[in-house]
Amino acid sequence: MSLPTETNVILATDCGSTTTKAILIERRDGAYRLVVRGEAPTTVEAPFEDVTRGVLNAVREVEEQSGREILDGERIVSPAEGGRGVDIYVSTSSAGGGLQMMVAGVVKSMTAESAERAALGAGAIVMETLASNDGRLPHERIERIRQLRPDMILLSGGVDGGTKSHVVEMAELIAAADPRPRLGSGYDLPVIYAGNADAREDIARILADRTELSRVDNLRPVLEAENLGPAREQIHTLFMEHVMAQAPGYGDLMAWTHVPIMPTPGAVGRMVRVVAERNGIDVLGVDIGGATTDVFSVFGGVFNRTVSANLGMSYSISNVLTEAGLEAIARWLPFEITDADLKDRMGNKMIRPTSIPQTMEELIIEQAVAREALRLAFEQHRNFAVELKGVQQLRTISDTFDQQTGGRTLVDLMNLDLIIGSGGVLSHAPGRAQAALMMVDAFQPEGITNLAVDSIFMMPHLGVLSTVHETAALEVFDRDCLVHLGPCVAPVGTGAPGSPCATVRARSDDGEWTHEAAVGELAAIPAGEAEEIVLEVAPSRGFDAGAGRGVRVDRNVRNGPLGVIIDTRGRPLQRPKDAAVRVETLQREYRALDLYPEPG
């Protein structure tokens, strides 16, 4: 569909694994603003098995709320004429079970790790990483390849001009396994070769007959440099052509949009990068969905992204239970519940993924699970994908050796400026304080950190919109998308409960206050209506607020509905083990933030 010359009305949808969300943007008085938002369950399930049903339902909600006629039957009217139709329609998608890949390299900690980063960066779930030195015998690798039915394989190995026998051997193993794609049997499995350029002909001879082979630039052309861009782009292209095309209804949806459908994580990552670049700050972004949780960060200008497959709030909720354990979830519950009951509730959410909590108890349980999903996803981000980056990465030889022992993390919580939460459980939390505390408990920020949420889960829409109309995307992002919740002040150190931790002073156009924070406290102190406040945090001896132990930190921060959150509960955060003490502690903390007010 061709783009109009003038854009006044924009429709954007995001087809999540659980819910399809539509937003309507209009240019009014010279500025682009969000008008309304609608949503409907994603309809990949029977009896519909067609993603466009959910899109149409969500758009109908937008029509009802805005009074604007957008649909003509089951067709989106475009371009806009008067009060009818839209000029641009864009969409993102994470439905369809995500992109499941297998990657292979020669040396596990080098080319195989680079291949894994490329796949993760493209939004894939990495099912298996094979390497010549992974300790398995060749026939074991062949068996493993045969068992898996990935959407595609990324094969790398060797620097350009280096030895090619290892990567050729890996290709031989893939050929011998004769792997089949996950979806459908009517096409060959896509294999991307991004290894030693000298081995291309050999690879083609071995794999071209059996697979849909494509070749891109080596993702590790020399030992100390990574070039992940070409492989990532090729993954994205094949994802659209092969995986999405197999998902029910996507053929139609792809014809409706003005620009290619973008994977939801890719679109959110784009917005996180924009925020960091525009403000010159370190940012952590998280998007917690029904099936997966994505973590994005920009530290020191370097963009990282990880996808935690099978950590999510509906389809994957039971997996959060399996990975975190019952005890870890229960430690956030201000009431007692039997293990069997908690497990049944997780199981029921898994099999009815679109249902929502109707009682406060159910809401608290879901938010407890969210804390653990976020914590686990963040751990993975910090420990595993630390060196993942945008386009091209340069390492020194010493970094390369570092990497073998697990890599150097770029995540520095003390220097982190802003956390942005996105995804249903954060964006749609009935109380903003709930979203803030979920993020504080899961990420445990240190020093002074601004907290924000994507108000109504718009980052995916704006990310894909920015590829075609950046002005509109940025204007809506500034005015309607990001909601600042207020800063979190968390001095790091140790002290006896109740002993002095820090003196926190807040000044703004609305006035000022001073709070003497004691060790073990969780409080939210309102700071008026001002958009910005000046914080002065003077930590006690032994506590660090960002400038060293006992050194005062002055910082301009964004105010929010919560004011300033003061968290002196300690890092790492310890929760009481005894159930009765836990219940009492949590009830006190949650009351302090008026987290779960009584209905009515």
Partner 1 sequence: MMAHAYTSGLRVSSRTVVARTRRLPLSGQVLVNVGDQVRPDTVVAETYLPGPVHNVNVANALAIAPDEVPGCMLRQRGEPVAKGELIAESKGIFGLFKSSVRSPESGTIEMVSDVTGQVLIREPSTPVRINAYLDGTVTETLPGEGVVVETAGACIQGIFGVGGETHAPICQIVQSPEDEVTGEMIDDRLRGMIVCCGSMITLDALRKLIEVGASGVVVGGMRYHDIGDLLGYQIGVAVTGGEDIGLTMIVTEGFGRLPMAERTFELLRSLQDREASLSGATQIRAGVIRPEIIIKSDGGEATSDRASTAGRGLEAGSLVRLIREPWFGELATVASLPEQPVRLPTGAFARVLEARRTNGTLVTVPRANVEIVET
CA of 451: how far to CAs of 256, 271, 448, 501, 600, in Å? 36, 16, 10, 22, 28
Residue 132 touches partner 1, criterion: CB under 8 A: no
Residue 230 touches partner 1, criterion: CB under 8 A: no
Find out whether 567 and 439 touch, Cβ atoms under 8 Å: no
Residue 211 touches partner 1, criterion: CB under 8 A: no
With respect to partner 1, which residue has the nearer C-beta, 82 or 186? 186
Residue 48 touches partner 1, criterion: CB under 8 A: yes
With respect to partner 1, which residue has the nearer C-beta, 66 or 467? 66
Residue 172 touches partner 1, criterion: CB under 8 A: yes
Distance of CA 174 to the CA centre of its chain: 31
Question: Which of these, 426, 313, 435, lies nearest to 17 by C-alpha position?
Answer: 313
Stretch that binds partner 1, among 69-77, 340-348, 458-466, 579-587 (CB under 8 A): 340-348
- Ramachandran bin of 97, using left for φ above 0, alpha for ψ from -120 to 50, beta for the remaining angles: left
Binding partner 1 by CB under 8 A: which of 49, 252, 470, 532?
A: 49
User: Among residue numbers 140 through 169, which ones bind partner 1 (CB under 8 A)?
Assistant: 142-143, 164-165, 168-169
Amino acid residing at 211: T
Question: Which of these, 31, 38, 51, 43, lies nearest to 12 by C-alpha position?
Answer: 38
Residue 455 touches partner 1, criterion: CB under 8 A: no
- For residues 251-268, one letter each, b for 16 or more C-beta atoms within 10 angstroms of the residue's C-beta and e for the rest, the string is eebeebbbbebbbbbbbb
Residue 46 touches partner 1, criterion: CB under 8 A: yes
Binding partner 1 by CB under 8 A: which of 11, 25, 40, 377?
A: 40
Stretch that binds partner 1, among 26-34, 356-364, 372-380, 437-445 (CB under 8 A): 356-364
Q: Where are the alpha helices (DSSP H) in 384-446?
A: 397-404, 424-427, 432-443
Find out whether 297 and 303 touch, Cβ atoms under 8 Å: yes
CB of 15 to partner 1, least distance (A): 10
Tokens of 259: 């620009």
With respect to partner 1, which residue has the nearer C-beta, 315 or 457? 315
**Count of residues that bind partner 1 according to CB under 8 A:** 77
With respect to partner 1, which residue has the nearer C-beta, 13 or 466? 13
User: Among residue numbers 529 through 588, which ones bind partner 1 (CB under 8 A)?
Assistant: none
User: Among residue numbers 470 through 529, which ones bind partner 1 (CB under 8 A)?
Assistant: none
* Strand ranges (E), 180-323: 190-193, 212-215, 225-227, 262-263, 283-288, 292-299, 302-309
Find out whether 231 and 220 touch, Cβ atoms under 8 Å: no
With respect to partner 1, which residue has the nearer C-beta, 349 or 389? 349
With respect to partner 1, which residue has the nearer C-beta, 297 or 310? 310
CB of 428 to partner 1, least distance (A): 7
Stretch that binds partner 1, among 101-109, 357-365, 381-389, 447-455 (CB under 8 A): 357-365
User: Among residue numbers 251 through 310, which ones bind partner 1 (CB under 8 A)?
Assistant: 291, 310
Q: Where are the alpha helices (DSSP H) in 2-67?
A: 51-66
Residue 356 touches partner 1, criterion: CB under 8 A: yes
